[in-house]
Amino acid sequence: MRKCNFIDLFCGCGGFTQGFKQAGYCPILGVDMWQDATKTYKYNFPESALINEDVTKLTSKDLLDASGMVANDIDVIIGGPPCQGFSISGKRMIDDPRNILYKSFVQFVGEIRPKVFVMENVPGLVSMAKGTVKDAVIEDFSLRGYNVSWKILAADDYGVPQHRRRVFFIGLNKDVFGDTCFKFPVETTKHKKITCKDAISDLDFISDKEALSDESSYCLPPQTEYQKLMRENSNVLWNHVATIHNDKTKEIIAMVPDGGNYLDLPQELWSTRKVHIAWTRMDSSKPCFTIDTGHNHHFHYKENRVPTARESARIQSFPDDFRFLGIKTSQLKQVGNAVPPLLSEALATEILKYIGN
């Protein structure tokens, strides 16, 4: 029996793909225009074809030719179209020209006709324009023959040590599934969260004075079941390189307690950074806040430094054998932009129940 296959549009470094692969699927094509991310993708998924190009310059034939498949052979198309035009921090314009990338995703699904599609985006899309945007998304896919279900999911409800909320739209092809609608998987860690300390305490052996190479060795044994899971197939520690801060920055970070933020500093220091998330430490007893793309405002729960790319990857639920390529700032951006693999795996596993039937 063949494995279910999938195409990942806007694949980035491959967080979405990693989750589907962990669930037993075969990645046949990744598409993204950011070269740093696609180099990481190709390194970690050598079995998959890859197109490093703007999707608006591609046709469905291009995708099928690259994957070596015909339309009826594609099981799933997944992707998170860049969401600037939908973001709650943007202008909330329904006709924002940046949404052409979303329209491209819709077009590919409509022309290739996979059994299932999965689209990820920011939660703000749901309430935007009093729900008009959400309704438009559902209508776009419904008109192309899909029964669409949607839900805002929190990653920490599915074993990810991070409170990251995203909306997922999942469509089942009516020609394959009739009137069946997808039901989202039950939360697995809703009442027992994986904490920051659960995730990265075995990586606490570097300090803010060290800068290790991109390839190093573990110095501590795994201390939690989550750490054992992340280290399962790994003998080498990749991407665990500390950022060296100046003495003044370290002095300020040291004033912030575990789980604290700028409000724990003397008031004359509040304006040293002009964003409300500044000087925020992880809380070792809770899942992490949403990992960003490396803006250096968030700090380790104990050490006086920002998290390493590997620590951020752990908090995103990337296994340790997943290696990020590029300079450190690029690695952090790749991690921050990704769909958490364990959340992706939960969705992929649930989808298999439908495709298998």
Q: Do 299 and 306 touch, CB atoms closer than 8 A? A: yes
Q: Do 341 and 161 touch, CB atoms closer than 8 A? A: no
Report the catalytic residues: 83
The kind and range of the H/E element at 20 are helix 15-22
Q: What DSSP character marks residue 288?
A: B
Q: What DSSP character marks residue 151?
A: E
Matching residue, tokens 């998987």: 185
HSE at residue 239, side-chain half, CA atoms within 13 A, is 28
CA distance 110 to 39: 29
**Phi, psi torsion values for 200, nearest 5 degrees:** -130, 10
CA distance 63 to 60: 5
What does DSSP say about strands 165-173 and 146-154: parallel, antiparallel, or unpaired? antiparallel
Matching residue, tokens 């800068």: 211
The first and second tokens of residue 311, run together, are 């620590």
How far is the CA of 324 from the CAs of 14, 215, 268, 314, 343, in angstroms? 10, 11, 39, 12, 19
Number of alpha helices (DSSP H) and beta strands (DSSP E) in the chain: 13, 11
Looking at the chain, how many residues does it have?
357
The first and second tokens of residue 231, run together, are 């280290």
How far is the CA of 164 from the CAs of 113, 121, 339, in angstroms? 30, 12, 9
